[in-house]
Structure 1
């Protein structure tokens, strides 16, 4: 089921209205983008649809999505650092 404008308004109403709005895209290569436009149009089925769009400036794509956001979206599994292994003692001079 698609999210509606009402669903989005309801979810956004719980957020700080002064916070920047970003768009997370592509679960396989998560990136974040600035949103700059809201456009209403009719889709192929004749339904009114609202589109949220990024801007046209080069700085609209901000870079990789923060890992915590990708995990919260279930686009990535939480990653833990590998366990640390004890260091081996230094090798003697000559590499043997």
Structure 2
């Protein structure tokens, strides 16, 4: 069994999403940023195996939302520390 995410896996995940929804790439688990997509291209790799590439447009859009980094297993769920207004004003 292959561990690669397949076109079938992608189609299954996308089938329940509104077709007008924008698509982004979440890149780099250690410093997660989102990027826009320019295209999807099918080709063969060096061994002649069919591969589908999601091509980034070169536009970095900003940080990936915490719900994505947690859902991807990149980060543990965290909450910002709670501070009272008095503690902030004292500094």
TM-score range, shorter chain: 0.7 to 0.9
SS of the residue corresponding to residue 70 of structure 2 reads helix
Corresponding residue for residue 40 of structure 1: 42
Corresponding residue for residue 81 of structure 2: 82
Structure of higher CA gyration radius: 1
Corresponding residue for residue 72 of structure 1: 71
SS of the residue corresponding to residue 12 of structure 2 reads helix
C-alpha offsets along residues 32-61 of structure 1, whole Å, 9 cap, x if unaligned?
A: 0111111111111110111001114xxx11
Q: CA deviation at 1:5?
A: 0.7
| Distance (whole Å) between structure 1 residues aligned to residue 29 and residue 10 of structure 2 | 20
Q: CA deviation at 1:84?
A: 4.8
Corresponding residue for residue 33 of structure 2: 31
Instruction: Normalising by structure 2, report the TM-score.
Output: 0.81
Corresponding residue for residue 2 of structure 1: 4
Give the aligned CA root-mean-square deviation in angstroms.
Answer: 1.8
Instruction: Normalising by structure 1, report the TM-score.
Output: 0.77
Q: CA deviation at 1:83?
A: 5.2
| Distance (whole Å) between structure 1 residues aligned to residue 7 and residue 80 of structure 2 | 40
| Distance (whole Å) between structure 2 residues aligned to residue 80 and residue 22 of structure 1 | 24
SS of the residue corresponding to residue 46 of structure 1 reads coil
List alignment gaps of at least 5 residues for structure 2.
none
| Distance (whole Å) between structure 2 residues aligned to residue 66 and residue 83 of structure 1 | 20
